[in-house]
Structure 1
Amino acid sequence: VRDVATDGSRGSRGDGEAHRRWKEKILEILAEIQAPLSLLMLRLCNWALLKLLNRLFLSVQLHRGQLEMVLRAAGTPGVPLVFLSTHKSQLDGLLLSFLLFSQGLGVPRVTVGGQVCSPLLRALLGRLGGIFLPSRMEQTLSDRDDGLPGAVLATYVEEVLRSRQPLLIFLEEPPVALCLSAPAREWLALVYRAVRDGAVPDVLLVPVGIAYDVVP
């Protein structure tokens, strides 16, 4: 981020003013990516989700053997967890977050794909752990570096991994299944870059998913 800001402000007058403008831009981009977690919203959402599950499903079954494997993986010292999941329903993010949180794995940062979200829904999901690609990158997804938004996003992912916050990446976007989505490729590339550049020594990729008898 510092390198991009330095290159962008090179030749401009007033270093202090340029520094302030770049700082404001960085904070704006960061606010697009994530919001501070709200424990109150998490508790309310967990309560509401339990009520919703009782109405939508006859039962929710958790495979104990697979859960034990995930818990053992979470106990690996110094290695952040990156959960990779299929995406069958819009409920997947809430369900997986609830399950991981209820099992003592912390609140995961959940990637939200390219689907259109209202500002209110985006703000709510952000408070619950949702993270988003910056708007400029959503419009022009590519493998190339995307200037300041790309640099801020890469640094953010590095910090998430360094702090060992669980990261949940959805590989698909409903209703399209069995196809790696463009946002998923972007998030996976950021994780790869973090390991390649030495921001973290390694990551542990953990496949997870939810199967439905009937997709809600």
Structure 2
Amino acid sequence: VQDAASGRDLGSRGDEGSRRRWKEEICQILGEIQAPLSPLLLRLCHWLLPKLLTRLFLGVQLHRGQLEMVLRAARTPEVPLVFLCSHQSQVDGLLLSFVLLSQGIGVPRVTVGARTSPRLRSLLQRLGGIFLPSGMAQTWSDRDEGLPGAVLDAYVQEVLRSRQPLVLFLEEPPASLRLADPARRWLLRVLRALQDGAVPDVLIVPVGIAYDVAP
């Protein structure tokens, strides 16, 4: 992050004003990515979600054997879990978060698409949703990501170091069978964290969510 910030101020002498400006910009970018979790909202959603799910679905089925494997993997010391998920509905994130939290795995950080209203974005961030910074939406290559990309790299490394579950959706509904560009950017961050030695290893958990009728 420091290298990316200093690269934008090559013409300056690194004075206090310059450092303050890029620190403020870094904080702004970080605020676009995530927000502190709200324990009150998490408890409220944990209480409301079962009621919502019973209205949406006749039942939710989990493969018990596969769930036991995930629970064992979650107990592996110093190795974070990264869930790679198909994406069939906007309910996927809420459903998967509820399952992981109810099984004691913890509150995951869940990637959310950019097409979200500001109020909904703020709410989802308080519940663990994370977003690509707006400065990356206009970039066409990884080399042009600049400071937003560097902040995102550092953020993902910190999430993995703290062993917070990370949920990446590989597609964007209604598109299917095609890796979405946001997913590629998130996966690149996980790969860089491994290459830079931020974490010794990552456990990849493929997740498939299917509906009789997608809500």
TM class by smaller structure: over 0.9
1:153-172 equivalence runs, <5 A: 153-172=152-171
Match of 1:144, SS? helix
Q: Deviations over 1:42-81 (max 9, x none)?
A: 1111222111111111111222111101001111111111
Tell me if the contact between 1:113 and 1:184 (Cα under 8 Å) persists in the aligned partners.
Answer: no
Q: Equivalences for 1:1-150 in 2 at 5 Å?
A: 1-12=1-12, 15-114=15-114, 116-150=115-149
Q: Deviations over 1:176-208 (max 9, x none)?
A: 111110000100011001101111111110111
Deviation at 1:113? Answer: 2.2
Indicate the residue corresponding to 2:177 in structure 1: 178
Is the 8 Å Cα contact of residues 109 and 131 (structure 1) preserved in structure 2? yes
Q: Could you tell me whether the CA contact under 8 Å between 1:12 and 1:18 is conserved in 2? A: yes
Post-superposition offset of 1:142:
2.8
Structure 1 unpaired stretches of 5+: none
* CA gap 1:47/1:75 in 2 versus in 1, 3 angstroms: same
Question: What letter is aligned with 2:19?
Answer: H
Separation in structure 2 between the aligned mates of residue 31 and residue 203 of structure 1, nearest angstrom: 26
Which ranges in structure 2 are unaligned for 5 or more consecutive residues? none
Q: Give the fraction of aligned pairs with identical amino acids, expressed as a percent.
A: 73
Measure, in 1, the Cα distance between the counterparts of 2:42 and 2:76: 26
- In 2, distance between residues paired with 1:74 and 1:141? 36
Secondary structure, aligned partner of 1:121: helix
Runs of 4+ in 1 over 4 A off after TM superposition: none
Contact 1:84 1:171 in 2 (8 A): yes
Of 71-80 and 83-92, deviating more is 71-80
Please, what is the CA RMSD of the aligned residues?
1.3
Q: Secondary structure at the match of 1:61?
A: coil
- Deviations along 1:148-194, one digit per CA (max 9) or x if unpaired, are 00000000001111111110000011111111100001000110011
* 2:212 aligned residue: 213
For 1:209 and 1:141, the matched residues in 2 are separated by: 29
Deviation for aligned residue 1:89: 0.5
Shift of 1:14: 6.4
Deviations 1:98-137 (A, max 9, x none): 10011000100001123x1110000001001000000111
Residue 109 of structure 1 aligns with an amino acid whose one-letter code is: R
Change (3 A) 1:13 1:192: closer
2-structure distance, mates of 1:167, 1:14: 36
In 1, Cα distance between equivalents of 2:140 and 2:64: 38
TM-score by length of 2: 0.96
Distance 2:172 2:120 in 1: 17
State the Cα distance separating 1:141 from its structure 2 match: 4.6
Q: Residue type of the partner of 2:34?
A: Q
Give secondary structure in 2 for the equivalent of 1:180: coil
Contact 1:141 1:182 (C-alpha < 8 Å) held by counterparts: no
CA contact (8 A) 1:88 1:174 kept: yes
Q: Measured at CA, do residues 166 and 119 of structure 1 come closer, stay the same or move farther in structure 2, by a change above 3 Å?
A: same
What do residues 25-54 of structure 1 show as CA deviations (whole Å, max 9, x unaligned)?
A: 000000000000011111111222111111
Partners of 1:207 and 1:74 lie apart in 2 by 14
